[in-house]
A and B are shown apart, each in its own frame.
Chain A
Amino acid sequence: MSEWWTYRLEDFLLFSPRVYWRLFELNNAASWPLHLLTLAAGLAIVLLALRRPPGHGLWVAFILAALFAFVGWSFLWSRYAAINWAIAYVAPAFGLQALLLAIGGAARGSLAFDRRDIAGRLGLLIAVVGLVVYPLMPLLFGRPWSSAEVFGIAPDPTAIVALGVLLAASGGLVPLLFAIPLLWLLLSGLTLHAMGDSQAWLPLLAAAITVAALALRRIAR
Chain B
Amino acid sequence: MIITRRTFVKAAAASGAALVLPGTAPGAPPAPVMRAVPSSGEMLPAVGLGTWITFNVGDDPVLRDECAEVIAAFFAAGGRMIDSSPMYGSSQPAIGYGLEKLGRPEALFSAEKVWTSSAADGPAQIEQSRRFWGVPRFDLVQVHNLVAWETHLETLFAMKADGRIRYVGITTSEGRRHDLFEQIMRAHPLDFVQFTYNVVDREAEERLLPLAAERGMAVIVNRPFRQGALTRQLQGETLPAWAAEIGAGTWAQFILKFILSHPSVTVAIPATTRVDHVRENVTAATGPLPDASMRDRMAAYVRDL
Contacts and interface: CB of A to CB of B under 8 A. Distances in A.
Specify which of B54, B59, B60, B175 lies most central, judged by the most chain A CB atoms within 10 Å of its CB. Answer: B60
B231 to A, nearest CB: 15
Interface string A9-26: 011011110110011001
B58 A16 contact: no
Interface residues of B, number: 20
Contact of A83 (B58, B146, B174): B58
Specify which of B54, B58, B87, B146 lies most central, judged by the most chain A CB atoms within 10 Å of its CB. Answer: B58
B60 A16 contact: no
Interface string A49-65: 00000000000000000
A162 B129 CA distance: 39
A82 interface: yes
Contact of A19 (B57, B175, B227): B57
Contacts of A82: 58-59, 89-90
Nearest to A23: B58
B176 A83 contact: no
Nearest to A10: B227
Contacts, number: 54
B177 A2 contact: yes
B44 to A, nearest CB: 27
A84 interface: yes
B56 interface: yes
A85 to B, nearest CB: 6
Contacts of B176: 2-3, 6
Interface in A73-97: 79, 82-85
A79 B59 CA distance: 8
B39 interface: no
B110 to A, nearest CB: 21
A14 B89 contact: yes
A15 B60 contact: no
Given A82-B59, A83-B56, A16 B273 contact: yes
B9 interface: no
A84 B58 CA distance: 9
B239 to A, nearest CB: 25
A199 B89 CA distance: 24
A14 B62 CA distance: 19
Contacts of B54: 16
Nearest to A87: B89
Interface in A135-186: none
8 contacts: A3-B176, A6-B174, A15-B58, A19-B56, A19-B60, A83-B57, A83-B90, A84-B89
Given A2-B177, A16-B54, A26-B59, 17 more contacts: A2-B146, A2-B176, A6-B174, A10-B227, A13-B53, A14-B56, A15-B57, A16-B273, A18-B273, A19-B58, A22-B57, A22-B63, A23-B58, A79-B58, A83-B58, A83-B90, A85-B87
Interface of B: 53-54, 56-60, 62-63, 87-90, 146, 174-177, 227, 273
